[in-house]
Amino acid sequence: MTSVFDLYPHLITLIGEVTVLFILGCLICGLILLFLTVYAIRTGNLLFPRFMRAGLIFLEGMMRGLFKLVGVEDQEFLRIMVTLQNTLNRKAFMVIPIPERAVFIPQCLRSGACPAHLHEEGLNCRSCGLCQIGVAKPLLEKMGYKFFIVPGSSFIKRMVKRYKPKAIIGIGCLIEIKEGTEMAGQLNLISMGIVTTRDGCVETAVNWDEVYQIALLGVSRADVPQELEKYSS
Ligand code: SF4
């Protein structure tokens, strides 16, 4: 009669084989992801974005090591993650009506001499002419967007709770966008992230053309303000 102890060596062998197969599978997936990521960085084209995103999240630790081996820095990895998320969210974002969208601008984007005061919904921009926020705010609000200039993620959560947007556009540095995207996922929001072109604590910069292009996604030409017509596709 076969006892449990007789099965023990077979069980150990089976576990060993499954482990080796799992490691091999991860390595093969890692190499495919590495190829797809390097291709995306070189050409700007994303192939199999769903597979890439799931793989890069699941194998993040290993992928960071592999990227380092081939000279891809963490910053580029994060940038690809943001681009992937935006690509995957694009279609869903386009069908959300503008009144159900919100834009969150970090307060570091304003002028160092900004005269606006903080109130419970963020900074109260006076469109004083010292920075581009004062231009973007009335234009996007005219379209129906909710527009907030916020000092941190706690404000974003509070405004989301209060106004219940279905989609948001967030601007920030790479780390903020990565964390913001994760937060948006937990809150069931469709998010589009825009990475600042100059980081820091004050007078950061963003490509406003990119902001308007994303804000106009899914908007019919008739609803686009004259000032933004050139960004409408
Ligand atoms: S335009 Fe608005 S955000 Fe920019 S500096 Fe003036 S008040 Fe501040």
Whether pLDDT at 64 is above 70 = yes
Residues 118 and 171 in one domain: yes
Whether pLDDT at 44 is above 80 = no
Radius of gyration of the chain (CA): 23
Q: How many CB atoms lie within 10 A of CB 220?
A: 8
Residue 37 lies in a domain: yes
Domain that holds residue 99: 94-231
Tokens 């790479």 correspond to: 174
* Number of domains composing the chain: 2
Ligand 1 pocket, residue 138 CB under 6 Å: no
Phi and psi dihedrals of 119, rounded to 5? -130, -175
Whether pLDDT at 232 is above 80 = no
Q: How confident is the model at residue 1 (pLDDT cuts 50, 70, 90)?
A: low
Segment 198-215 shows an average pLDDT of: 93
Ligand 1 pocket, residue 130 CB under 6 Å: yes
Whether pLDDT at 68 is above 70 = yes
According to DSSP, residue 171 is labeled E
Residues 106 and 220 in one domain: yes
List the structure tokens of 189: 């929001």
Residues 49 and 154 in one domain: no
Substitution candidate for ligand 1 out of 126, 132, 137, 147 with most atoms within 8 A of CB: 126
Residues 206 and 121 in one domain: yes
Residue 153 lies in a domain: yes
Residues 180 and 139 in one domain: yes
Listed range (32-36, 70-74, 206-210) with the worst mean pLDDT: 70-74
Residues 173 and 123 in one domain: yes
pLDDT of the residue at 214: 96
Whether pLDDT at 4 is above 80 = no
Residues 160 and 226 in one domain: yes
Q: How many CB atoms lie within 10 A of CB 160?
A: 20
Q: At what angle do helices 153-163 and 174-186 cross, to 10 degrees?
A: 30
Ligand 1 pocket, residue 135 CB under 6 Å: no
Residue 81 lies in a domain: no
What's the CA-to-centroid distance between 118 and ligand 1, angstroms?
12
Residues 27 and 122 in one domain: no
List the structure tokens of 229: 């017509």
